[in-house]
Amino acid sequence: MTQQTWDEVGGLLPHDEFRAASEAIVANIEQVIEGKTATVRLALAVLLAEGHLLIEDVPGVGKTKLAKALARSIDCSVRRIQFTPDLLPSDVTGVSVYNQETHDFEFRPGAVFANLVVGDEINRASPKTQSALLECMEERQVTVDGVTYQLQTPFMVIATQNPIEMEGTYPLPEAQRDRFTARIAMGYPDVGAELAMLDGHGATDPLDELRPVSDAVTVRQLIATVRQVHVADAVKQYAIDLVTATREAPDLRLGASPRATLQLLRTARAVAALEGRDYVLPDDLQALAVPVLAHRIIPTADAQLARRTTDAIVSDLVHRLPLPNDRKRSPYDTRPASGNGRGPYEPRRP
């Protein structure tokens, strides 16, 4: 990622303002997405962690609606790309066009030149076109004809895809899967949420009436605040142990990358901030292990024959890996430790 000045990212927000801004975004999205509070909060956490989100599920469960609702809740530039088999890389990144009046080439930006880019059914495009997103997702820039163009801050790709076994799809390259911070599945709504959906979506689409409740400046301030969330050394080591376990697991032929460790920690910071804490707990890493790590790993042939999913493999690793043992009390007990007046994962306070 390119270096950014403090002004480009934004200043810090007080706790009350951070909570009010984040809850407003969540509540706004829930006007469209019924009964999926945890999924909505994770999507917002990925945005605040400066990451990218992959939403994978069967058709009709609200993948694109979630992506568009998040985008419309923030008053910033939004572009939508409908990935199709005939989509070209230049449609995504942009292209240089010869201007007959100036007798020179001028660059016409592609769809990635926006704060939020919604890529619908990303796995319906060819791997060549999918790879057009590699540079912009990792480095926040686009290079065309030897010229590099910086992207705006914040920048997030929210992509949806149908499961690989659906007809007419292409699997995402490993390098691109690794650039997505988290993969989530919408799942079917419960009975109550589906009844509410029939009432709320039966005559009109709530997405059409959705209005922004935040803007790019506020989001930059939220991101800057998340960056300051404290991570204790024991929690950092636990994150490394989690990722290392995927590299040593006999059921996997490809474990998670160092990028996965970094994004796991960044997302844990965002989740902690959304929960009202200024420090990360091991519980945050446990809750995020499956959405952040499972889509990056590749099972062995034996594991595939045994129908073991990557989600199940990561869940088993989380349950087997011991939690940090820097205290005698339960790791889930967040009360201040005796003696120094603070919990073992909290920062030293003046």
Is 336 inside any structural domain? Answer: no
pLDDT (tens digit per residue) in 258-280: 999 999 999 999 999 999 999 99
Sign of CA dihedral 157, 35, 271, 215: positive
- Can you give the pLDDT at residue 238? 95
The CATH number linked to 292 is 1.10.8.80
Does one domain contain both 286 and 179?
Answer: no
Does one domain contain both 31 and 163?
Answer: yes
Domain that holds residue 276: 229-322
DSSP state of 207: G
Does one domain contain both 285 and 297?
Answer: yes
Mean pLDDT, rounded, for 83-97: 91
CB-based contact 94:150 (threshold 8 Å): no
CB-based contact 133:92 (threshold 8 Å): yes
Spatial separation of the C-alpha atoms in residues 19 and 23, rounded to whole Å: 6
Spatial separation of the C-alpha atoms in residues 257 and 175, rounded to whole Å: 10
Does one domain contain both 198 and 270?
Answer: no
- pTM, two decimals, is 0.86
Lowest-confidence pick of 18-27, 73-82, 200-209, 311-320: 200-209
Would you call 336 exposed, middle or buried from its count of C-beta atoms within 10 A (0-12, 13-18, 19+)? exposed
- Can you give the pLDDT at residue 348? 66
Two tokens at 217?
Answer: 């400046």
Looking at this protein, which amino acid is placed at residue 114? A
Does one domain contain both 177 and 57?
Answer: yes
Does one domain contain both 186 and 101?
Answer: yes
Does one domain contain both 272 and 287?
Answer: yes
**Which candidate, 127, 183, 126, 119, places its Cα nearest to that of 157?**
119
| Residues linked to residue 53 through DSSP beta bridges, in sequence order | 158, 182
**Greatest mean pLDDT among 152-161, 162-171, 323-332:** 152-161
Helix (H) / strand (E) containing 293: helix 282-293
Spatial separation of the C-alpha atoms in residues 39 and 55, rounded to whole Å: 10
**How many of the other CB atoms lie within 10 Å of CB of 20?**
11
DSSP state of 337: P
CB-based contact 237:231 (threshold 8 Å): no
The domain tally of the chain equals 2
Is 335 inside any structural domain? Answer: no
- Can you give the pLDDT at residue 350? 62
Is 270 inside any structural domain? Answer: yes
Peptide bond into 154 cis (omega under 30): yes
Is 192 inside any structural domain? Answer: yes
Does one domain contain both 219 and 234?
Answer: no
